[in-house]
Structure 1
Amino acid sequence: MQEHNDKDAHPHHGGGSLRWATAKHALRCLIGCNIGEGIGAAVGFALGWDVTSTLVLAVALAFAVGYAFTMIPMLRTMPWRQAAKVTVIGDTASISAMELTENLLAFAIPGFMMASLADAMFWIGMGIILPAGFAVSYPAMYWAMKREQKEGGSMMQAHHH
């Protein structure tokens, strides 16, 4: 097998570069976090909770599902303890940036927080919030993956298999 001197290039993994691997990982994280957040918002709404309690549940589930979306594929290539460590180190800053940005925007967009799935404002808001969440999570994810790559590459290996 050929060795690669360029640390950003991983053509044998099909990703092409650390930037591409980061984009794929940030997108998977965004999907997982927003599934968790959506479940939390739906539960809070269904139970008639206030906005603060619903937000706390939604953010907690965003972290839990986001971590799960990262960890589960890693379990094919590393033990649970190592996968958990890499996940927490790699995803915490990214998820925090994403959640802060998405929630600040959700409150800033007039009518978004009260919009139903049938309202155009909900979908317009999502069209603003989701790309913004990705945009702020990407640099945090890139930094974490670059750091991991320099420290031994277990995250990089796990995300390419």
Structure 2
Amino acid sequence: MAHDEHHDPATTAHHADPSGPAAATWGVAVAATLHCLTGCAIGEVLGMVVGTMAGLHNAATVALSIVLAFVFGYGLTMRGVLRAGVGVRAALKVALTADTVSIAVMELLDNAVVVAVPGAMDAGLSSVLFWGALAFSLLVAFLLTTPVNRWMISRGRGHAVVHHYHGSH
């Protein structure tokens, strides 16, 4: 191990600070994933509702949902970082670093589930099938993204970078 790596808390557990790899508990991973899920769910639901109401093709509805999930996901993270006094450009960099993998995994999973449920995308906004498939897709995304977030946090990546700015997430 190089001398610099030996003193880098992100690379060694025995030197880890409380916001680094040692904080990679399931509770921290769940909190990070719930934070991500909040932004993703807002964007996902809004995209599905707007796309369905506008009569967009299913692919366009999914694309809109994905874009909005990233916008809202990054926006929620930036909000907390901006409150800590960080400038907009730096806050955007923190959000991109903290959330990109988590949001991407979550969006891949929840959209795959919604598309895989027969008739869900075409069921309409008044259908239990539409809302049930959407809720189920978000649950699946949460359950399968939580271990990804725990793994990333244990390596000082993903949502771990946000701890420096606001320790509640």
TM bucket (normalised to shorter chain) is 0.7 to 0.9
Q: CA deviation at 1:18?
A: 4.3
2:106 corresponds in structure 1 to: 98
1:81 to 76, 89, 100: 89
2:148 maps to 1:147: no
2:145 maps to 1:128: no
Give CA-to-partner distance per residue, 1:10-67, whole Å, 9 cap, x none.
7xxxxx8643233112112112111112222222223222112222111111111111
2:127 to 116, 119, 127: 119
Kindly indicate whether the alpha-carbon contact (under 8 Å) linking 1:32 and 1:62 is maintained by their aligned counterparts in 2.
Answer: yes
The change in CA–CA distance for 1:32 and 1:144 in structure 2 (over 3 A counts) is same
- Look up the equivalent residue of 2:48 and give its one-letter code: A
- Look up the equivalent residue of 2:84 and give its one-letter code: T
1:56 corresponds in structure 2 to: 63
Kindly indicate whether the alpha-carbon contact (under 8 Å) linking 1:9 and 1:18 is maintained by their aligned counterparts in 2.
Answer: no
Unaligned runs of 5+ in 1: 11-15
After TM superposition, the structure 1 stretch with the greater mean CA deviation from structure 2, 124-133 or 27-36, is 124-133
Q: How many residues align?
A: 149
- Look up the equivalent residue of 1:76 and give its one-letter code: R
TM-score by length of structure 2 reads: 0.73
In 2, the alpha carbon distance for the partners of 1:77 and 1:147 equals 24
What fraction of aligned residue pairs are identical, expressed as a percent? 34
1:66 corresponds in structure 2 to: 73
Unaligned runs of 5+ in 2: 1-13
1:41-52 matched pairs, under 5 angstroms = 41-52=48-59
1:109 corresponds in structure 2 to: 117
1:13 corresponds in structure 2 to: none
1:32 to 39, 46, 49: 39
Kindly indicate whether the alpha-carbon contact (under 8 Å) linking 1:39 and 1:61 is maintained by their aligned counterparts in 2.
Answer: yes
Kindly indicate whether the alpha-carbon contact (under 8 Å) linking 2:24 and 2:154 is maintained by their aligned counterparts in 1.
Answer: no
In 2, the alpha carbon distance for the partners of 1:66 and 1:77 equals 18
Q: Looking at both structures, which has the greater relative contact order when contacts are Cα pairs under 8 Å and sequence separation is at least 6?
A: 2
Give CA-to-partner distance per residue, 1:67-111, whole Å, 9 cap, x none.
111111111225133322221112111111111111111111122
